[in-house]
Amino acid sequence: MGRDADTSAAVTAASRERIVGVSDLTVVHQRRGGGRGERFAAVDGVSLHLDAGEVVSVVGESGSGKTTLAMALTALGAHTSGMVELLGHDLARLSQRQIRALRPEVQVIFQDPHGSLDPRQSVKAGFKELRGLQPQRTSWIDDAGLLAQVRLSPDLLDRYPHQLSGGQAQRVCIARALLMRPRVLVADEPTSGLDVSVQAEVLRLLLELRESTGVAILFISHDLSVVRRISDRVYVMRRGRVIEQGATQAVLDAPQEPYTRQLIAAVPGRTLRTAQVAA
């Protein structure tokens, strides 16, 4: 499946809608093990945006602030200054009750699928729990249909997380996120623990969902070959700051910053121009 002009007209129209807007965001943390006053900016003056039907990647080495940024814009982590807008709402101006009401609009897919699932719950029991929390929001599809959305057999409904492969578990996590009919998926290194062929399947699935539903995807990764394949735009972070941004092909083909060039050069055993996700 290609990322080209075949995107549906509905998704193209939806892509004009601003879903997430971040302006001059700063998140200050206490340094672990440090004394009073030993604080640092995990995110420092970052601005970005994400529109409906768009896949935007945030890349950088470990400790660059990628995940802290993602948690701030999902209201799972606080921010020190700046503004985070979700669907036109300034999160800093919302009460906790209002944030809870808005939170289903943003769902997170984490790096470790097995760690994201309750080992004591079958797949079906996990779906049932979510339906109990949000009955109106989740009534749009039954369990078998939900698994079909992520290319899984209904036979897996009675299985427990330890009975699922890594790829199956990650697809169940994606299905759980989709059950809420979110406007935004935040995918935090969702394929880093999977082998190459399973990575390709999960990435194809995310692109299919983007094209069929118009969901916006914020993709957190250090793998630039994956970023090239999946994203429309990219932000490169270093030490809490965005140092380069733009259309993915433009940034990765002609990087302006030495650090971006270092990241590209570090892709092992393949070049960004030839790395592809299997069709």
Per-residue pLDDT of the chain (279 residues; tens, 9 = 90+): 444 433 444 444 444 689 999 999 999 887 766 556 578 888 999 999 999 999 999 999 888 989 889 888 887 777 788 999 999 999 989 998 999 899 899 999 998 999 999 999 999 999 999 999 999 999 999 999 999 999 999 999 999 999 999 999 999 999 999 999 999 999 998 888 788 888 889 999 999 999 989 999 999 998 888 899 899 999 999 999 999 999 999 999 999 999 999 988 887 654 444 334 433
Q: Which CATH superfamily is domain 9-265 in?
A: P-loop containing nucleotide triphosphate hydrolases (3.40.50.300)
Which residues make beta-bridge pairs with 244? 236
Which residues make beta-bridge pairs with 28? 41
Helices (H), the chain: 9-14, 66-73, 96-102, 113-116, 123-133, 143-149, 166-179, 196-213, 224-230, 248-253, 258-265
Give the domain ranges of the chain: 9-265
Q: Rounded distance, CA 157 to CA 107, Å?
A: 21
Q: Rounded distance, CA 234 to CA 219, Å?
A: 9
Four-residue CA torsion sign, 243, 245, 250, 252: positive
The SS3 assignment for 244 reads strand
